[in-house]
Amino acid sequence: MKGKILVLLLCCVALFFVSLRLGQHRGDLAGADEEAQVLIQEVAPDFSPWFGPLWEPPSGEIETLMFALQAATGGLVIGYILGKRSVR
């Protein structure tokens, strides 16, 4: 049992450092939305969206906060469901 835990811990540490190494890029951290908009404008310059956002966050920090809260809520829900299933 201790061997399994040690191997899993080492895998987590390795994954952490590999992701840090792969994520070291110098540039704008543009998301997929911005990249898709650029590609759509290149392919079909006369394209116009069907609708716009219902609410535009006042700043990038608020947008990041909303995304982090959404991810945390999803993680809590999934963790709760998996925890309830493992108790049975």
Considering the entire predicted model, what is its pTM?
0.48
Q: Report the C-alpha gap between 62 and 68 in whole angstroms.
A: 10
Q: Report the C-alpha gap between 77 and 84 in whole angstroms.
A: 11
Mean pLDDT of the chain: 86
pLDDT tens for each residue of 18-56: 888 876 666 565 677 788 888 999 999 898 888 888 988
H or E element in which residue 75 lies: helix 60-87
Distances (CA, A) of 22 to 17, 18, 44, 78: 9, 6, 33, 27
